[in-house]
Structure 1
Amino acid sequence: MKQTQAVEGQRQITNADVRAALESILANEMFSQSERLSGFLKYIVDEALAGRGDAIRGKTIAQDVYERVPQDSGDPENIVRVHARQLRQNLGMYYETEGKRDPVHIHLDSGGYCPRFEYVDVPTRTPTPSRKRSALTMLSVFVIGGGLGALIANTTLKQPVEVQNPDAQAASQHEQLTRQALLEKSAAALQAANFAEQARGLIFPIFERSRQELLTGVFQHIISTDPEYFGGYAGAAQTLATKAILTPKGSEREEITALAGAMAQKALTLGPTEPWVQSALAWAEVAKGDYEAAYRLSSRAKDMTSQDGHVLDFHGAISLFSGRFEEAIEAADRTNLKGRSNQRFANRNIYGAANYHLGNNEKTLEGFEAAAAFGDPLSAPSLAYQAAALQRLGRVTEANSKLAELNRAWPNAPLGIMFAGIYQNHEHVEEILAPLRELGWTSKVANDEGNATARD
């Protein structure tokens, strides 16, 4: 067996060792959900194992992985540098969590693109059952089979979330004290709060109606579990308001909007000083088309807490859809956000979309590429923004490829209805749809493009 590298003159790492390490990494969701990031890692590992590691350059990665040539507009190596940073971060996160017991580690050191392989002496231990769960699957079981869902909520959701950042200890202690107080009230109160926190983290991407319908059922179950808990009503208000936004104008939309408003008001009665409640009230106003009220309430929620990523996501979304693009970018900045490092938010998508409307097309692509690399929410509009940005940059081949990807993943996505339902100003809708039409996009949904008109 060919030896690839010696570590400390003792343990030799073979090609097979490296291949096994690579397969483990690529199976992790941080990489499996990002085709480009996985391709990047596989390419540099393959090149290193073939003895060409020292010849790996940014331009070769751009050409061989991304099919970018020097003649393309812009800097073809820019996306390589962006993905290299993301790759280093993802590898670090992987080895801090799921991969911490892998015997062989793959590193990408700063300053180059040749990977480094390291043998780690990991002591054996008695295997323990995996705690990894698909959150959406967990919620589906909860809604469809209440008894089993309750069991999952009791056994899985109460388990502590690993905290990587030392600065998060204060927030973690606050959460623990809150849970203790809820448990003293009742086990049902603690179960409802635990499950609501999990469910609210799944509201994004907001453009999936089936997701919102599922989560509405979850929050309704939470309400029945503890009718005095504000979170069930706040969450239901947000999912119902999102359903209303995705519904064409008419009586059905009006009914859903009214129900969302009622849920938000009930949440206000139970928790008037809760930032989540103020955020839910704001989102219900978006469904009504009152963006000024929505922005006022969302700003209040943001000012009440600087550490709730979900509140910041909704504030960023409201800022984006009301045309406050600079503020949307500010809300998307999580530099000072403490707390659990394994939570995912929509901020990178918001960053990419806001930069699109400011004409920063390269930053748009960087934002959405980062979102994909970190496993953030992905939706049809995410791909639409990217295709439009590529078209603006004159990278027509890539734009068509991205549009084809959109059509494969969401063949009947009503983009016109989606964007018209969420943006306050029609001109911002057209900024997205016009480049897509230049690429030959036409909606396959009746009256879709006809719905892309200014809101009442």
Structure 2
Amino acid sequence: MTEFDDTQFGGKVNATSLTQSEMRAAVRRVSDSHTLSTSPKLKDFLSFVVEETIQGRQDGLLAKTIALHVYKRDADDPTSANVVRVEAGRLRRLLEDYYEDEGAADDTRIHIDKGGYAPRFERRIKTDETLDAQASTEAWPRRSSFSVRTLPLAILALICIAVTALYVLWPREPRSLSNSDKTRLEREALMEQSPAALEAANLTDQARGLIWPIFDFERQRLTTELFRTAIVADPNAAGAYAGAAQTLASLALLSLSGPQHDAFLAEAQQMAEQALAIAPSDAWSQSAAGWVRFVAGDHDEAMRLSERAVSLAPNDGNVLDFYGVVAILSGKPDLGLTAGNRERRRTGPNTRFAYLNILGAAYFHTGDFEAAAAAFEEGNSGGGPLSAPGIIYLAATRQALGQSDEGKRLLALLEESWPQFPVEAVLLRLHKEEAAANEVLDRLRSLGWTGRAE
């Protein structure tokens, strides 16, 4: 059995126990592995802490230092330390996975122990027991008593075993489970894994139900904190990262431009990367990545990722809603109609009303103003939450239908409830095509709206 001897290090980092080239070679092996292939930031994290150790600066490896140099975050931002702690936990687990699989034969192992960020190294040695075991294994074929005369009996026995296994394991029609049964079984499995994982799943579900409406800044900020809390409870919760990516991207969108916008978008991108690293084939991960790309201005990539998400989960309400928004604002309202189709079965929390506003906006941009008004009013009368863009679109719709008095009333409601909402800036920022934004703005101006300082 292979053993690892780290007694020479006294359980702590000792940069002089290995040469600098040996330590850097250990980092390269891990960084070039399949295990870390989808985690570029974790590679940077590992390289940074090892290089700082080589230079004798391991005592300065604090969360704020790593946040500044690896993640380019403000060291004084209290959320930066939390991001580093979560990332360190992920790196520890991936290092364990690597050395259990791809790196099992590495001469040197790297560890980052809990409670700190400085790396600890182990040197791999072979004991006499290992050599004896290897020699014994190599000699086995020569000592085997297996002969050609036993071959027919062995084949007959294998056939009997195969027939019996086929009878026992032949797939039978599985019992159909209701959504509530699936949820219960998922919760039981998580509880068996760890109470923290179950807590994170509960928090993530609660937060996901609060994402819409996405154009409410305070709502997005509070929901982001719920997702962050879920990440602290279980740093491997892909859904929490995906949800945080969506809400942070929405905060960036509402911030329009400047340092705050850039900070929100950078963190949203990190969260999306982490969601994809943990669960690359999960629809929510793909949807979150698509929304982040949309806010970053890459509409084509946003559509590609959003369409993939819908293909993976065609009835997921959250996935469909983000796909619908991306489609409409990318100049494809016909796809928005598909996403908001009333006959489409939708699953998940908070799926009752958001799609109606999406459907209304899609009808507006296809010129079916009667259908647009019906969709908006259905959402409002059903108890759906109001948002500034929803009121803006409904006012423009009323103007298109010749109902100017109702349109003006809605503009007064907008001014009263969202006095600081930058209507023109947001619409121009949202739409890929300026003409689509002006289609709404021109109708508002026909109602007497003159805009405001933005």
TM-score range, shorter chain: 0.5 to 0.7
2:184 corresponds to 1:202: no
Q: Distance in 1 between matches of 2:222 and 2:347?
A: 27
Structure 2: 5+ residue runs without aligned partners?
1-175
Aligned match of 1:173: 181
Match for residue 408 of structure 2? 400
2:423 aligned to which of 415, 434, 446: 415
Output the CA distance in 1 between the equivalents of 2:348 and 2:257.
39
Matched with 2:193 is: 185
* Matches for 1:36-435 after TM superposition, within 5 Å: 170-337=178-345, 339=347, 343-435=351-443
Alpha-carbon separation, structure 2, partners of 1:253 and 1:340:
29
Report how far residue 174 of structure 1 moved.
Answer: 2.1
Distance 1:180-1:345 versus aligned 2 partners, 3 A rule: farther
Deviations 1:148-175 (A, max 9, x none): xxxxxxxxxxxxxxxxxxxx95333222
What SS does the aligned partner of 1:376 have? Answer: coil
What stretches of structure 1 move > 4 A for 4+ residues in a row?
338-343
Query: Counterpart of 2:431 in structure 1: which amino acid?
Result: Y
1:317-340: CA deviation from partner (whole Å, max 9, x where unpaired):
111111110110110114241557
Quote the residue 1:440 is aligned against.
448
Aligned 8 A contact 2:291 2:302 in 1: yes
Distance in 1 (CA, whole Å) between partners of 2:325 and 2:350 is 21
- How many Å separate the matches in 2 of 1:364 and 1:406? 19
Q: Is the 8 A contact 2:317 2:348 kept in 1?
A: no
Do 1:386 and 1:399's aligned partners in 2 also have CA atoms closer than 8 Å?
Answer: yes
Deviations 1:104-150 (A, max 9, x none): xxxxxxxxxxxxxxxxxxxxxxxxxxxxxxxxxxxxxxxxxxxxxxx
Q: Deviations over 1:10-67 (max 9, x none)?
A: xxxxxxxxxxxxxxxxxxxxxxxxxxxxxxxxxxxxxxxxxxxxxxxxxxxxxxxxxx
- Structure of greater Rg: 2
Larger RCO, structure (CA 8 Å, separation 6 or more): 1
C-alpha separation in 2, matches of 1:310 and 1:340: 7
| Alpha carbons 2:212, 2:350 under 8 Å: kept | no
Shift of 1:402: 1.6
- Using the alignment, how far apart are the partners of 1:436 and 1:174 within structure 2? 47
Aligned counterparts of 2:411 and 2:347: Cα–Cα separation in 1: 36
The alpha-carbon deviation at position 249 of structure 1 amounts to 2.2
Q: Please list the CA deviations of residues 384-404 of structure 1 after superposition, one character each: whole Å capped at 9, or x if unmatched.
A: 111111112222112111211
1-structure distance, mates of 2:215, 2:350: 23
**Contact (CA 8 Å) 1:196, 1:219: kept in 2 or not?**
yes
Q: Does the CA-based 8 Å contact 1:412-1:443 persist in structure 2?
A: no
Please, what TM-score do these two structures have when normalized by structure 1? Answer: 0.59
> What is aligned with 1:118?
none
Aligned residues: 280
> Which residue identity lines up with residue 395 of structure 2 in the other structure?
A
- Asked whether the equivalents of residues 207 and 418 of structure 1 are also in contact (C-alpha less than 8 Å), the reply is no
Name the amino acid aligned to 1:439: L
Root-mean-square deviation (CA, aligned residues, Å) is 1.9
SS in 1 for 2:449: coil
| Structure 1 residues 246 and 341: CA distance shift in structure 2, 3 A | closer
- 1:123 is matched with none
**Amino acid of the residue matched to residue 306 of structure 1?**
P
Secondary structure, in 3 states, of the residue corresponding to 1:204?
A: coil
Unaligned runs of 5+ in 1: 1-167, 449-456
Q: Distance in 1 between matches of 2:318 and 2:277?
A: 21
Contact 1:246 1:421 in 2 (8 A): no
DSSP-derived class of the 2:201 partner: helix
Q: Matched residue of 2:255: which SS?
A: coil
